[in-house]
Structure formats: C-alpha cells, structure tokens
Amino acid sequence: MPEPGESREERVNRELIELLNELRVALPGVQVLFAFLLAVPFSQRFGQVTDVQKDAYMVALLSTLAGSVFLMAPAAHHRIRFRDPDKESLLKLANAFAIVGTVFLAFGMTAVVFLVTDLLFKDVVTAVVTGATAGLFAVVWFALPLLSKTRN
C-alpha cells in the first residue's frame, strides 16, 4: 500500500528496501544453520547414524542450501540490476524468492529437529516433536499471514 503522498516509484523503492531489510534478519540464522550442517559429518558420532538419519541430514542440508540461495537471491539480483528502471518486477521476483526461501528454511529446520530428536529419543518423541515443529512453521510463518491477508 502506498503511503500518503507517495509516488509509485517511491513506494517500490520503499518496499524493496523493506524486503531487503527483512532478509537481513533471516540470513544470519540460515547461515548459522548451514555452517552447523556442514560440520556435522565431521563429528565422531556421525558414523553411527542410521540410513533414515542420513536421509534427514541430506534433506536438512539441501533444504538449507536452497533456502540460502533463494533468500540471498534478491540482494544478488538487486546488485546485478542496479539502476534498472523496472524495480517493480525486481520487487515481485524478490518477494517470490523470499517466500520460497522461507519454505525451504522451514523444511531444513524441521529436518534438523527430526535428526536431533531421533538421535536422542527415537520413535514417539521424534514424531511428536517433528510434527509440532512442522505445525508451528505452517501456522506461524504461512497460515497466519495468509489468513490475515484474506480478511483484509
């Protein structure tokens, strides 16, 4: 929504800045998770994990990688398209990338929770905690914003 007295160009510039600032909040967490995941195979205990745990690890690693790519893409596009007159298309693409990156991040974090709880507790606790984690992401990151959007 445009602010009072704001031109279309000013609105697009403001929204692009807002989006890039939002990504600055998410990226450190993604980077820390990715760094953690890169170190995991080098721990002594990793040789003892089951095939299911290895699969969960790969889902976590690749989802976090994809989340990182999509969440960083708006900044890369902004740099490459610096002073491009069509900032609105850049803003729409960057918004889509941010949403896709968030989805991948939710998958990656849920897979990490599965891996850790499966290493520590097994079966029922793993299922409950992983399901609750996935549900929390689904509700807080996706359902609530979509519900409030449909109400407006």
Position 2 scores a pLDDT of 67
Query: Tens digits of per-residue pLDDT, 50-83?
Result: 999 999 999 999 999 999 999 999 988 888 887 7
User: Average model confidence (pLDDT) for the chain?
Assistant: 91
Question: Tokens 């984690």 map to which residue?
Answer: 133
CA distance 109 to 64: 8
**pLDDT tens profile 92-113:** 999 999 999 999 999 999 999 9
pLDDT of residue 82: 78
pTM of the entire predicted model: 0.87
- Residue 136: phi and psi, rounded to 5, are -60, -45
